[in-house]
Amino acid sequence: MSAPQWMDARNILCVRLDSMGDVLMCTPAMRALRQARPGRTLTLLSSASGTALAPYLDDVDAVITYAAPWMKGGASHSASHDASHGAAHPPSADSDLIGQLAERHFDAAVVFTSFSQSALPAALMCYMAGIALRLGHCRENPYRMLSHWVVDDEPATHIRHEVQRQRDLVASVGCHGDNPRMRFALRARDLAAVRRMLDERGIRRGRPWILMHPGASAASRRYPPERWADVIGALARRTGCPIVLTGDAHEAALIDGIRAACGVATHSLAGQLDLGQLGAAIRLATVVLSNNTGPAHIAAALGTPLAILYALTNPQHTPWQVESRLLYHDVPCRFCYKSVCPEGHHDCLGKVAPAAVVDAVCSLMGATRQYRASSTDP
């Protein structure tokens, strides 16, 4: 594959059309793209969830938000948005995007996908927009849709972590980064705001505390609320540490129910944090306990020790380069890639014993002392 053409590209479009966590897992690859040529600019094309990360991605210069109809959730999003016009996703929306891409005169486009997705719909749009260089994974010969492509042999022969998959993709055109860590840029104002919130709740600087994130966009990736309540009660009694629950405003009822059932005092920041403040809270926490969802990837990006309740919906999104504990119950239906448990039993999470979760968090709290002592205090 010819790399010299890519070394000349200055204005690059990075396409990752799904969610925030998926975009975070592309950040080492985007860093490699940027470092490969001085003065290079990157534009992120993603969903609303993905482009919300832009203020915290130092390697991204601009964003374009697009609800791709071929992506999971994209069509339903567009359907609700355009319901008054009687069209789920009018072709004009795609034509408008192609025109917008053409107006920006991109030299190259990299289409990042998981192995269960196709790069070809986005590649076609980039082709129609006149973007000369187009890179992606593909199982069949894409002919002119991709100018440069890597044969996608996952999952038939092996499965890589999502971060490594994207780093390997850009490396195929000569872009090798110096740091494989995911990236989330903290802001001083967000750290200060979260410290004030913690102070107001009696959680003073230097005191260990646990951040818990019980929500997730997919039902199949949510640990049952009654199990969360059992974990919180046991952890509070065993450690005496303050416990802070986070979540979006629409998850407030879930969190209120968990807090009411756990039988111990807790704190809720549900609906009170923007994304930057959530990142700051995750960085300031001693340990994070989360489902497999965006905040778990933020914790990995920031280096905060993480216990993750990992539904076995897919194998390639485990915590990346962070001290972590993976919690799951093995099942024959593993790696179903479903947002709702197709078997109806939810055993891969439902059978994770609260005692095992408590032990995992406590083991991380012990290991964290050395980690925090050697890291820069934010």
Residue 73: what pLDDT?
67
**Mean pLDDT on 17-28:** 95
Contact call for residues 142 and 181 (beta carbons, < 8 A): no
> Distances from the Cα of 207 to the Cαs of 109, 198, 202, 283, 295, in angstroms?
46, 10, 10, 14, 22
Residue 74: what pLDDT?
58
Backbone angles phi, psi at 14, to 5 degrees: -105, 115
Q: Residue 370: pLDDT band by 50, 70, 90 thresholds?
A: very low
Residue 88: what pLDDT?
62
pLDDT digit string (tens) for 128-153?
999 999 999 999 999 999 999 999 99
> How far apart are alpha carbons 49 and 234 in whole angstroms?
34
pTM of the model: 0.89
Q: Residue 139: is it exposed, middle or buried by C-beta count within 10 angstroms (0-12/13-18/19+)?
A: middle
Lowest mean pLDDT among 45-59, 232-246, 322-336, 349-363: 322-336
Does position 57 have pLDDT exceeding 60, yes or no? yes
Looking at the chain, which residues constitute the CATH 3.40.50.2000 domain(s)? 4-171, 188-374
**Mean pLDDT on 95-103:** 95
Write out the two tokens for 223: 């640990």
Whole-angstrom Cα Rg for the chain: 21
**Mean pLDDT on 34-40:** 94
Residue 81: what pLDDT?
38
pLDDT digit string (tens) for 236-264?
999 999 999 999 999 999 999 999 999 99
Q: Residue 86: pLDDT band by 50, 70, 90 thresholds?
A: very low
Quote the CATH superfamily of domain 4-171: Glycogen Phosphorylase B; (3.40.50.2000)
Residue 78: what pLDDT?
39
> How far apart are alpha carbons 40 and 34 in whole angstroms?
6
Domain 188-374 has CATH 3.40.50.140: no
Does position 118 have pLDDT exceeding 70, yes or no? yes
pLDDT digit string (tens) for 150-192?
999 999 899 999 999 999 999 999 999 889 999 999 999 999 9
Q: Residue 368: pLDDT band by 50, 70, 90 thresholds?
A: low
Residue 2: what pLDDT?
52
Q: Residue 313: pLDDT band by 50, 70, 90 thresholds?
A: confident
Q: Provide the residue count of the chain.
A: 378
Lowest mean pLDDT among 28-32, 45-49, 79-83, 113-117: 79-83
Contacts by 63-69 with C-beta closer than 8 Å and gap 24+?
64/97, 64/100, 64/101, 66/17, 66/97, 68/17, 68/121, 68/122, 69/94
Q: Residue 85: pLDDT band by 50, 70, 90 thresholds?
A: very low
**Mean pLDDT on 82-88:** 43
Contact call for residues 247 and 215 (beta carbons, < 8 A): yes
Mean pLDDT over all residues of the chain? 90
Q: Residue 40: pLDDT band by 50, 70, 90 thresholds?
A: very high
